[in-house]
Amino acid sequence: MWQTYGHDWATALLQQALDTQRLSHAYLITGPAHIGKATLAREFAAALNCTGQTPPCGECRSCRLAHDDSHPDILVVQAQEHVLKIDQIRSLQHDLALSPYEGRYRVCLLIDLHLATDEAENALLKTLEEPASRVVLVLTATDASLLLPTVVSRCQVLALRGVPEQRIVQALTERWHVQPDRAQLLARLAGGRIGWAITAAQDENALAYRGQALDDLLQAVIGGRLARLKLAESLGSLERDELIELSSLWQTWWRDVLYANQGCDELVVNLDRTSALRSLAGQLRPAQLTAACNSVDRLREQLGHNVTARLALEDMLLNWPLATV
């Protein structure tokens, strides 16, 4: 029984391969961050060595070891500090030369292969071209186009898509016992990224952080030039990854105000802030809201180009309209 939610076609396909023992030497699971790629990869690795009646049973010794990343025949290789290096591939190749200790297969999970250096990816090609028997490689990446075509062509590709909102609500309420209102909000905020929704459901800080970020945003909208320059200064010291994450929150916010302004309330994402959204939507003109949306897009572009974060933030914040909430 698969525990991976929302990707039924992919689990059915892998189940079929297990049942018929017609396995590919390599699989590539693609899709946006937090959509469930690594969860599916780990579960498939467990299923390959499961000794239960209906793999992956989730209960046998093999499944339990796999779940904790401590199965001797399941090797997990992932980026360290956002890079996957050639040494990691070389050490993997050394380990793969050994036969399975206790499982039927040696499985290697290569998580986030799009973070591999060119040398590392080229080295991996050798392993893909000369597959050893009883070895299965499971690769994950956000997008196949970020990998060498020669790597992709050696794999069976499973391209995961966003999980429908109602499916996320169902998973959160039934499996994780989240209250319906909270489940609906998390599912909407997740935008298909079921892994994000599940993590956020278990971590109070995830929503608290977002709440604080939205409060800061509103303070900047109410406050004048000085408040905005101060905010730009304090945000300017954040890591770029964190700013990119925050900017996607600002993006959803200004789009929400625009939707509310246009009477498309059903598209609003920040469901717990509808009164502030409606208040802004009532005071501002569509052109001002489009300008705010564009200013966030511009910031995101600039963050990718090594522009000083504080200056890019000032440019964005000073383009936001002034309003009261």
Binding site for Zn ion (CB under 5 A): 50, 52, 57, 60, 63
From the centroid of its chain, how far is CA 34?
2
- Which residue, 57 or 293, is less far from Zn ion as judged by CB? 57
Minimum CB separation from Zn ion for residue 120, in Å? 32
Q: State in angstroms the smallest separation of the CB of 64 from Zn ion.
A: 8
Which lies closer to Zn ion via its Cβ, residue 53 or residue 205? 53
Contact 261, 281 (CB under 8 A): yes
CA–CA separation, 201 vs 183, rounded Å?
8
Q: Which residue, 21 or 202, is less far from Zn ion as judged by CB?
A: 21
The CA distance from 260 to 281, in Å, is 6
Residue number, 32 or 52, with CB nearest to Zn ion: 52
Give the whole-angstrom CA distance, residue 13 versus residue 1. 14
In angstroms, give the least distance from the CB of 1 to Zn ion. Answer: 10
Task: Determine the Cα angle at 108 with ends 102 and 113, to 5°.
Answer: 170
For the bound state, the minimum distance from the C-beta of residue 57 to Zn ion, rounded and expressed in Å, comes to 3
**Cβ–Cβ < 8 Å for 109, 77:** yes
Give dist(CA 169, CA 187) in Å, integer: 6
Which of 84/138 has CB closer to Zn ion? 138
Quick one: which of 223, 240, 234, 215 has its CA closest to 320?
223
**In the complex, what is the shortest distance from the CB of residue 240 to Zn ion, in angstroms, rounded to a whole number?**
41
Q: Which is nearer to Zn ion, 30 or 49 (CB)?
A: 49
Question: In degrees rounded to 5, what are phi and psi of residue 279?
Answer: -60, -45
User: Residue 20 phi/psi, 5° resolution?
Assistant: -95, -5
Q: How many CB atoms lie within 10 A of CB 55?
A: 22
d(CA 59, CA 319): 56
| Nearest distance, CB of residue 106 and Zn ion, angstroms | 17
- The distance of closest approach from Cβ of residue 63 to Zn ion in the complex, given in angstroms and rounded to an integer, is 3
State which residue, 45 or 198, has the beta carbon closest to Zn ion.
45
CA 108 – CA 25 distance, rounded (Å):
11
Q: What is the DSSP letter of 97?
A: T
